[in-house]
Amino acid sequence: VYLDATYLPLRRETFEREAVYIAIGIKPNGHKEVIDYCIAPSENIEVWTEMLQNMKSRGLKQVELFLSDGVVGMKAALTRTYPKAHFQRCLVHVMRNICAKVWVDDREKIMNEFKQIHQQTSQKEAAAVLHEFYAKWNKAYSHVIKGLREIEPDLLVFYNYPKQIRASIYSTNMIESFNNVIKRKAKPKAEFPTEQSLDAFIGIQAMSYNDRYFNRIHKGFGQVQ
């Protein structure tokens, strides 16, 4: 299950951008679908927790793997709702966060080196590359490396899965492509006049997505059922 939030313009008391929380799942047969969404003024762990509990009460009994960015408290919320599930932090979000905290001159080099982490053949090799990254950049960016060390258990979880699907499960890119479609289709509207109109719009996009991928097996998943 991929979790991500995007922002769309909604008129309340004043014109604001509101968070649209989205969950997309890949089923055991490899088919993907939007399984839940909700709208809230901003992204916070309380709303995510409520959404997770809602998915469970609606019948999603067990999840093998969750992928999301670094929302504070997400891992704890997932553990409470789905204690047997594994958690992979989106490496693309991690890379973006690193780039925002380093000098512009170092960004390309750091980005290219960090990308090597998800291009190895085993978790052991990836861990070696990650530790080499720590050693090389710790002197210049100790605060960045300290942050990476704290989340290291969530960075390489995708290596526990077959190589055919690893490209799909080290980042939330799949759900972000859905978010981009939503944003593109919402653009001509400038803003949504009510929460109901935004809700209806997201619902239509979700149903359209689910219809489009109803019988398609997501890349790699057909080989590892």
Same domain, 65 and 140: no
| Domain annotation covers residue 111 | yes
- Residue range 174-221, pLDDT digits in tens: 898 898 888 888 877 767 788 888 899 999 999 999 999 988 999 999
Same domain, 189 and 152: no
3-state DSSP call for residue 27? coil
Same domain, 84 and 195: yes
Same domain, 86 and 7: yes
Q: Given the structure tokens 């999840």, which residue do they identify? A: 63
| Domain annotation covers residue 81 | yes
Same domain, 99 and 61: no
pTM: 0.91
Same domain, 84 and 177: yes
Q: For residue 10, what pLDDT band results from cuts at 50, 70 and 90?
A: confident
Same domain, 24 and 99: no
Same domain, 16 and 41: yes
CATH number for the domain spanning 34: value is 3.30.420.10
- Residue range 40-82, pLDDT digits in tens: 888 889 999 999 999 999 999 999 999 999 888 999 999 999 9
When divided into structural domains, the chain yields a total of 2
pLDDT at 135: 96
Alpha helices, H only, 88-166: 91-100, 104-115, 123-137, 142-151, 163-166
Same domain, 98 and 86: no
> Distance between CA 16 and CA 26 in Å, rounded?
32
| Domain annotation covers residue 165 | no
Same domain, 177 and 202: yes
| Domain annotation covers residue 86 | yes
Structural domain harbouring 123: 91-160
Question: Taking the mean position of all CA atoms in its chain, how far away is CA 111?
Answer: 19
| Domain annotation covers residue 102 | yes
| Domain annotation covers residue 167 | no
| Domain annotation covers residue 123 | yes
Would you list the DSSP string of 43-76? Answer: --HHHHHHHHHHHHHTT----SEEEE---TTHHH
